[in-house]
Amino acid sequence: MFIFLPPARAQEPTGARLLHADREPQNWLTYFGTYNGWRYSPLNKITRENVNNLTPVWAFHTGRSEGGLNATPLVMDGVMFLVGPFNRVFAIDAVTGKKIWSYFYDLPQITIPNTPGTRGIALGHGMVYLGTLDNHLVALDARTGRELWDVEIQDVRQCGCNITSAPLVIKEKVIVGGTGGEYAHRSYLNAFDAKTGKHLWRFYTIPAPGEPGFETWDKESWRYGGAPTWLTGSYDPELNLLYWGVGNPSSDFYGEHRKGDNLYTNSVIALDVDTGKLKWYFQEIPHDLYDFDGAYECVLIDIERDGRRDKLLVHPNKGGYTWVLDRVTGKFVNAWPYVDTINWMKGVDERGKPRDLLPVPPTGTTFVCPNAAGGRSWNHSAYSPRTRWWYNTGAEWCGTITPQKEEVTEGARIFGGTMGFQPPKDKPAYGHIDAFDPVTGRKAWTHKTRFVNLGSLLVTGGDLVFTGDIEGNAFALDARTGEKLWSFNTGGGISGSAITYEVNGRQYVAIPSGNGALIRRFIPLVWPEAKELMPEPSSTLLVFALADKNN
Amino acid sequence: MGVSLLLTICLLSKARGELQPQIPADRGQTQEGAALFALNCASTYCHGEGGKGGGAPGLRDRSLAPEDLRHLILAGIPGTAMPSFGSRFSSSETDDLVAYLVSLSSRQSGVNDAVPSAGTRQPPRESTRAVPEAESNSTAGPTIGPPTGRVGSGGALVGEAEAGRSLFFDSAAIDSCRVCHTFEGRGGKVGPDLTQVRAKSAREIFESIINPSAKIDSNYSTLNVTTRDGRRQAGVRRDESEERLRLFDTSTMPPVSRAIPRTEILSIERSLRSAMPDDFGTRFSEKQLLDLVSFLKASRQGVTLEEVK
C-alpha cells in the first residue's frame, strides 16, 4: 500500500506503546489518557499544597470559535496535538505554545449536523487521526501535518451522521464512531487499518433482519433507528474487548413507529476488536423516549474483593443513573443514581432493568427529571486508583417532553417532538461534582455548584480534580475532600477536557476554554441569570504550571 | 445538534435598520406559517417554540427582512446546521413562513403567544400547492412513480425503479453505487455524477454497469503513478495542488483518497481500464441490473431485458 510514512523514529506511538500508556505519565497519548477510560494521571508535582501557585504559562487560540473548544489535547514527547472547531488540527510545542504545524480540513459547503466542535483526535503509527464533520476519517503525518489519506465513511447528506468524537487506535486498527441519534440513520462503528485506511469491519448498532435483536424493532423502523456511537470507547487488552456506549433511538421522543426494546440503543456493547463481532451487550433503557443516551464513557475498574479480582465496567447513563457491569460477561452488578432528581424510573430490578418507567404519551406534555440534556452532559468523569473514588458531575434539573409524530426520511433530522427545561418542582436547580465509590455509589463528598457543569474531570496523582465551570473559571478541587483549592478566570466557559503532562521535569495542566455547546442555549431557561454570566463562545487552550520552574 | 450562531445572526442582522418588515399582516398566511414553523423549525434543537429557547438563534427582537429570510430558508446556511428547505417548501409555503417570521420579529422574547401546537395545527394547504412531480420526493431524488417492476405480459423481466434506488443507495452495503457515484446531490465523487445519465439509452447504461471499461469518461480513467522509490499506486484523480496529487484508491471499499507529494512522482500513466469493479454483471442478478437501469433512467414503466440487450 502506498503511504508516505514519516521516518521510523516519528512512527511512534505504535500500538504497543499505546497499550502501555500508563508507563508514560509524562504524556497523554489517547483520548482518555489510557484505554481504561480513567482520565487519571499519576503526575504529582502539582499537589494540594502548592496548587495555589499555579499560573498560566501560555495560551493558544484555534481561530473560529463556534462550537467551542470541546477537545481533549494529546501530548507526546513534548508536542501537543489539538483539534479546534471546524476540524482545525494543530501541533504545538507543549512548553512554549508555539505552533509547529496546522491542518485545516477542507469542509464542503453543505449542511453540517450538530455543532462544529470536535472532542478529540487520535495518535498512532506516526499519524494523527481526525474524524470530520462531514463523516470522513483522515490520517495526517504527525510530523508535518500533511494529509496522507482520507476515507469517506458515508455521505453525510445521505445519513445525517458525522464524527465529533476522537477515534481510538488499538494495535493496527483505528476505530471510529459517529453521530446520528437525531437523524433517520442506522448507526455503526467502523474499524480501519491504521496505516492504509483500508476498511476492516463495521458493526451496525441496529441488527439487520435475521440477526438477534432485529425483533426489537417494529416494521421498517430498524432502517432509521439511530443508535449512534458518538463518544469514544474503552478497551481491555487482556480480554481483547472493545467497549462502546450506544446512544438513543430516533426519533428521540416519539416511539409509536418503533415499538419494542430497540436494541442496541441505550446499551453498552462489547466487541472483539479483531473481528468487530458482538461478545455481549447490556441495555440500560429499553425503548427510550427521553433522549437518555447510553453513549457515555465506559470506565474499566478492577476491584479486589474476597480474594478475587472483579473486572468491572462503570457506565454513567444520561438519565442520571450509573450502571456497573461485569465486563467479562456483561452481567449486571449494580446500578445507582448520581443525581437526586429522577422521576423517569423507580430504581432497577434484580436484572438491572428500570422499574416503573415514566410513560411519555405520544400526545401531551410529560414532566421529566432530569431533562433531555441529562443528569450529566457528555463531558467525562475520572477515576483515581489512589482514592479508589470515581469523580463525576451532576445537575438537579428537569424539563418537559412533548412528542410529535414526524415523517421519516433517510438522513433527515427526526426529533419526534420538543423538549423544555425547568428547575425541579420542589427545589432550585443546581449542579454538583461528587466523589463516589464506583460500585456501591456511596458518596464520599459533594461539591455544590451554582449551575450545571460542562467540563470533563481530570484527577491526578497529586490528588487534585481539575475542571471548570460555564462562567469561565478553571479550578482544582481537593480529590479527598472536594474543597476548592485554586481557580482562574479563563474568559471562556469550560466545556472541554483538561489534561496534565510533563516536559523536562515540569508538570503542566492544559485546560480548554470556550463553550459553544448546544446546551449553552438551554441553560438560561433554568437559570435566567446565567445568560449574562456565561461568556460568549470562544476556543482557547490555556496551559498552567507552577510559578517556580523547578517544580 | 448545533448551529453557526454567529453566521446566522450576522446574516439576519444585516437587514437591521436597513429594511423594515414589509409583508402585510395576513392573519391566515401567518397562521399557516406558524403551523409550518411548529412542524419544521420549532424543535428545541433548532429555533425553539415560537422562535425562542432553541439551540439555533432566536428569531425575536430583531428586524427580519423578508428577502433575507426567504433566501435563508431556501438556501440554508452552508457550513452550519441550517439546512436548505428549498425542496421541502412550495413557494406559497415559503411565503407563509416568511410572513410568520416577520410577525415574530415584533414580539419580545419573554412574551408567550399562541403558537399552534401539534394538536391544533392546521394542515399545510396541500390543495393549493402545485407540486412538480420531481419535487414531491426531493430529499430522496426525483419521483419515479409507483413501483412497476414485474414480470411482463410475455414473461419478460421488468425493472423496478424504486428497487433500483434502494440498491443504489443501500447504506448497509459498504460498496453500493452511492459510495462512488452521486445522484441528485447524494453520494460519492469517485466516479461520475449519474443524475443526468437518464439522457443515455437504457442499453448504454446497462453496458456501462456490466462492462465499465468499454467506454470510459476520460475524467475518471485510472491513473498509474510511479514514485521515485519505485512504488506504484493506481487510482482515480481526485484533485491536485502544487504540492500533491490526490487519487481515489478503489482497490478497497470505501475508496481511500491518497495524497502523493508531487516531488515524489516519477511518472503518471493513464490506464484504459476503469477503476469501477467489472463484476457487477455477476454480482447482481438480471432483475437487479434492470432495477438499477430503471432507476437511473427514471423509467415509470420499468426497463425490460429486451431494451438492454
Q: Choose between A188 and B26: higher pLDDT.
A: A188
B179/B282 same-domain check: yes
B300/B233 same-domain check: no
Asked if the model's pLDDT at residue B45 lies above 80, the reply is no
Specify which residues B187 forms β-bridges with.
B182
Looking at the domain assignment, is residue A551 inside a domain?
A: no
B11/B72 same-domain check: yes
CATH code assigned at A38: 2.140.10.10
**pLDDT, tens only, A156-208:** 999 999 999 999 999 999 999 999 999 999 999 999 999 999 999 999 999 99
Distance separating alpha carbons of residues A317 and A294, to the nearest angstrom: 5
Residues of B in contact with A417 (CB under 8 A): 43
Residues of B in contact with A409 (CB under 8 A): 139-140
Q: Do B4 and A66 touch (CB under 8 A)?
A: yes
A66 in reach of chain B (CB within 8 A): yes
Domain that holds residue A139: 7-546
Specify which residues A448 forms β-bridges with.
A432
CATH code assigned at B196: 1.10.760.10
**Does A306 participate in catalysis according to the annotation?**
no
Specify which residues A250 forms β-bridges with.
none
**Which of B123, B139, B166 corresponds to the end of one domain?**
B123
Q: In what order do the strands lie in the sheet with A241-245?
A: A234-236, A241-245, A267-272, A278-283
Q: Do B256 and A521 touch (CB under 8 A)?
A: no
Nearest residue, CB atoms, B2 vs list A114, A146, A153: A114
What pLDDT shows up at residue A93?
A: 98
Asked if the model's pLDDT at residue B14 lies above 80, the reply is no
- B68: confidence class by pLDDT, cuts 50, 70, 90: confident
Neighbouring C-beta atoms of residue A171, cutoff 10 Å: 17
What pLDDT shows up at residue A283?
A: 98
Looking at the domain assignment, is residue A307 inside a domain?
A: yes
What pLDDT shows up at residue B122?
A: 35
Q: Are strands A458-460 and A40-41 parallel, antiparallel or unpaired?
A: parallel
Closest CA to A205 of A161, A166, A173, A236: A161
Looking at the domain assignment, is residue B142 inside a domain?
A: no
Looking at the domain assignment, is residue A398 inside a domain?
A: yes
Distance separating alpha carbons of residues A177 and A170, to the nearest angstrom: 14
**Max mean pLDDT range (A192-196, B83-87, B215-219):** A192-196
B72 close to B12: Cβ distance less than 8 angstroms: yes
Q: Do A146 and B54 touch (CB under 8 A)?
A: no
Asked if the model's pLDDT at residue B299 lies above 70, the reply is yes
Q: Which of A135, A140, A151, A409 to mutate to test the interface with B (most CBs of B within 10 A)?
A: A151
Nearest residue, CB atoms, A151 vs list B45, B246, B256: B256
B295/B207 same-domain check: yes
- For residue B150, the distance in angstroms to the closest alpha carbon of chain A comes to 23
Average pLDDT value over all residues in chain B: 75
B54 in reach of chain A (CB within 8 A): yes
Closest CA to B216 of B270, B264, B255, B274: B274
Share of chain B above pLDDT 70, in %: 71
Return residues 161-190 of A near B (CB < 8 Å): 182, 185-186
Place of cell 478475587: A308
Nearest residue, CB atoms, B252 vs list A150, A198, A413: A198
**Which of B86, B105, B123 corresponds to the end of one domain?**
B123
Looking at the domain assignment, is residue B133 inside a domain?
A: no
- For residue B82, the distance in angstroms to the closest alpha carbon of chain A comes to 6
Nearest residue, CB atoms, B1 vs list A113, A404, A418: A113
What pLDDT shows up at residue B144?
A: 31
A543 close to A59: Cβ distance less than 8 angstroms: yes
Q: Do B258 and A204 touch (CB under 8 A)?
A: no
- Work out how many domains chain A is built from and give that number: 1
Distance separating alpha carbons of residues A473 and B130, to the nearest angstrom: 56
How far, CA to CA in Å, does B262 sit from each of A213, A240, B242?
50, 41, 7
Chains A, B: CB pairs < 8 Å: 157
B92/B161 same-domain check: no
B178/B97 same-domain check: no
Q: Do A199 and B78 touch (CB under 8 A)?
A: no
Looking at the domain assignment, is residue B183 inside a domain?
A: yes
Looking at the domain assignment, is residue B170 inside a domain?
A: yes
What pLDDT shows up at residue B155?
A: 58
B37/B77 same-domain check: yes
A336 close to A248: Cβ distance less than 8 angstroms: no
What pLDDT shows up at residue A184?
A: 92
Domain that holds residue B92: 5-123
What is the model's pTM?
0.83
Nearest CA in chain B to A520: B55
List the beta strands (DSSP E) in A94-198: 99-104, 122-124, 127-131, 136-141, 147-152, 168-170, 173-176, 188-193
C-alpha cell at A124: 498512532
The active-site residue, picked from A252, A261, A288, A291, is: A291
B172/B89 same-domain check: no
Looking at the domain assignment, is residue B96 inside a domain?
A: yes
- B33: confidence class by pLDDT, cuts 50, 70, 90: confident
Share of chain A above pLDDT 90, in %: 92
B115/B19 same-domain check: yes
Looking at the domain assignment, is residue A244 inside a domain?
A: yes
Q: Choose between B57 and A206: higher pLDDT.
A: A206
> H or E stretch including B9?
helix B5-13
Distance separating alpha carbons of residues B116 and B114, to the nearest angstrom: 6
DSSP state of B293: H
Q: Do A516 and B258 touch (CB under 8 A)?
A: no
ipTM: 0.92
Q: Do A186 and B172 touch (CB under 8 A)?
A: yes
Place of cell 458518538: A230
What pLDDT shows up at residue A61?
A: 98
Return residues 248-307 of B near A (CB < 8 Å): 249, 252-261, 264
Looking at the domain assignment, is residue A2 inside a domain?
A: no
> H or E stretch including A79?
strand A79-84
- Work out how many domains chain B is built from and give that number: 3
Phi, psi of B162, deg, nearest 5:
-65, -40
Output the 3-class SS for B174-228: CCCHHHCCEECCEECCCCCCCCCHHHCCHHHHHHHHHCCCCCCCHHHEEEEEEEC
A210 close to A203: Cβ distance less than 8 angstroms: no
A66 close to A537: Cβ distance less than 8 angstroms: yes
Q: Do A151 and B188 touch (CB under 8 A)?
A: no
Q: Spell out the per-residue pLDDT of chain A, length 551, in tens.
A: 455 554 444 557 778 899 999 999 999 999 999 999 999 999 999 999 999 999 999 999 999 999 999 999 999 999 999 999 999 999 999 999 999 999 999 999 888 888 899 999 999 999 999 999 999 999 999 999 999 999 999 999 999 999 999 999 999 999 999 999 999 999 999 999 999 999 999 999 999 999 999 999 999 999 999 999 999 999 999 999 999 999 999 999 999 999 999 999 999 999 999 999 999 999 999 999 999 999 999 999 999 988 999 999 999 999 999 999 999 999 999 999 999 999 999 999 999 999 999 999 999 999 999 999 999 999 999 999 999 999 999 999 999 999 999 988 889 999 999 999 999 999 999 999 999 999 999 999 999 999 999 999 999 999 999 999 999 999 999 999 999 999 999 999 999 999 999 999 999 999 999 998 888 889 999 999 999 999 999 999 999 999 977 65
B229/B207 same-domain check: no
B119 in reach of chain A (CB within 8 A): yes
Looking at the domain assignment, is residue B300 inside a domain?
A: yes
DSSP state of B75: H
B255/B280 same-domain check: no
- B7: confidence class by pLDDT, cuts 50, 70, 90: very low
Looking at the domain assignment, is residue B295 inside a domain?
A: yes
B168/B285 same-domain check: yes
What pLDDT shows up at residue A4?
A: 52
Asked if the model's pLDDT at residue B25 lies above 60, the reply is no
